[in-house]
Structures are given as C-alpha cells and as structure tokens.
Amino acid sequence: MRSAQNALTGEIFEEYAVLSVDELSRLCAVERTYIVELVEEGVLQVAAVEAEQWRFAGTALRRARMALRLQRDLEINLPGVALALELIEELDAMRRELQSVRR
C-alpha cells in the first residue's frame, strides 16, 4: 500500500531553490517586469543580490503565484494584492492562535 517501489522522488523546492528574476518569471509564466513590479510593491522580497542580480528564496514562487491568481481572479491592482496577501497571512496566524486557545 505504501511501498516505495517505483515512486517518483523529488526534492523540497524551498530548501534548495535560489531563483533569479528570469527563473521566477519563467516558473510563473509572466514577464520579467511583472516580477520587478511585485518587488517594488513589497509583495516579494529580494533575498540577496549577486553580481547586481536579484536572488529570491524558493518561497517566493508560491507567493508570486498566489499574487498572480488574486490579481487575475479578483481583478485587483498590485497594492490591493499586497494588502490582501498581508491580511491573509495575518488571518492564518490568528486562526492558528485561535485553534491553540480553543482546545
């Protein structure tokens, strides 16, 4: 039932990935300038600068894709996306806290 035979093996992306703007934009299927806009709006954080090139942590992929979905599906602008993401994170943290108080 849970045999490891023939199972596909992958890695935890966030543990090793260091992404350039080009890689991140390819993974999100967006133009490079969109990633730059996400950084300027504070949605994405640049983890390091190497040879004048931005480097992102692997966690940036999930965040960028979430921003994209929110923008596309809810037709909100970037400052709205940034606000929504912050509020969603705050809400998640409060839900976790509530769970620990309730039990």
Q: Which residues bind other proteins (CB under 8 A)?
A: 2-4, 6-15, 17, 25-27, 29-31, 34, 58-59, 61-62, 65-66, 68-75, 84, 88, 95-96, 99-100, 103
Rounded to a whole number of angstroms, the minimum distance from the CB of residue 72 to other proteins is 5
Query: Which token pair is 80?
Result: 């709205």
Rounded to a whole number of angstroms, the minimum distance from the CB of residue 53 to other proteins is 18
C-alpha pair distances (Å), 36 with each of 1, 11, 41: 46, 27, 9
The smaller minimum CB distance to other proteins, of residues 55 and 65, is found at 65
First vs last Cα of the chain: how many Å apart?
34
The smaller minimum CB distance to other proteins, of residues 49 and 72, is found at 72
Rounded to a whole number of angstroms, the minimum distance from the CB of residue 12 to other proteins is 5
Neighbours of 53 (CB within 10 A): 11
Largest Cα separation within the chain, whole Å, is: 50
